[in-house]
Structure 1
């Protein structure tokens, strides 16, 4: 579709042809905005709706005053005015027509150059916006990756802290058992006053001893043997956790006794060592599931 002229645009906006032509011409053909400003200033003119009659004279000068688009569109009209101007000789008419053609070509070339520059500027703007959008996307991706890495680091740090708490608890238990065991040895070494022997007939039957500790010998998958003491009331799960911390394959194993042969189940993990018959001492074998 051909580009709409300024005159057609103003008529499309509701102005009469006479008003539009007069406003464009008398505002110097500098565009619709100037023409509308002129109409507002001359709204009360009594001859506003009369047909516009261009002044007679140098038609080439009129063409030079017009804008690029209007000059090209009014080429035939300006040529006609030159031909009808009786004040000019034939040579002068030819000269003005030649200059008018050169002016039209110059205006057309200037318009094409402007259009090329506008197209180049639009392309630059489009590329700039594309680069900015790409940078924004990359920044969002980098922020997302940093957030994921930070979350993983926090999870790993929390896991390390949890294992460290378990190790500290085991070390505290070891220290308490060592302290208690050492105190027992000292008590045994301390001499006690001798007491007269009690006749056999008056001695009371021996009471079954209650053991507070359980000493376990644990044989790992690689053949390593460990000896560790636990409270008799501790659950078998504490022994399993201890084994997990001692070997690389943390989870894929079971605990069993060789004699009598018994593989402990998940339910047994919640039972105390005393209830499982491992007190005061026992041998546990680590076997694969």
Structure 2
């Protein structure tokens, strides 16, 4: 409550009366203390004076000789004129104060440091002066509250701007993240589409190669039936390797070599390799696992594209020839 007391002292009220008002109103605020001061301006302060140990209770205040003797006993000048300082005056601005407390407050507020005692008595406020003081105090309080309200509004506006900016930053970060995820998804779909196109092209090329191989085989067989060793014009005859058996003498399903093209479900270009026809699909699984670490020998499965068929675990142990994959086939690995 020191703020209420300082304001009351600055208005010129006596410190003792200010303390009385604050105590009487139980420090409930500036306005109740002001009302108490104005209502009890002419009432004596209920304060007990202590005179124990001085012997003053034995002195008759009407006996002038006894009073002077007591003053001398206490070290005072009984013959000094009856001049009593009733106020404190600021030598720099001439303002008069009732107590040292109000003078000290004035010195702290104004920076003045030249004061002197004065016998000039500060007259109590009239009713009009009391009303004027009260109105002035209320006006100061209203101005102070208005200034505080303006400052609070500025602070709230600044805080709101910070909150909005933070919200915008978070929103932009989320939007950027969503755009990145969408771009990744688009790139993935584009990559899958390209891989699918490549796989389709590879399968188509394999089909064309198989057609050509069947046409060449048919031409060779026809040439043998007709008793000619030269195939019809336009049909190429692949050169025989040393020690190889003529293709016309070997059925395609009995071909010792099986050419496999494996399409990977995890992505990537199809892989191709020629196996001995007596190898099993387990051998193919081991090769696929060595080419792509995403596959496991024990869990990988194969399916043919035409006709559509998924090979069981028991069929994985059969040879490529027994599974009908000779001389060539396209498999899907998953």
> After TM superposition, is the score higher than 0.5?
no
Q: TM-score, normalised by structure 2?
A: 0.40
Query: Normalization by structure 1: what TM-score?
Result: 0.45
- Counting helix residues as a fraction of each chain, which structure ranks higher? 1
Is the radius of gyration larger for structure 1 or structure 2?
2
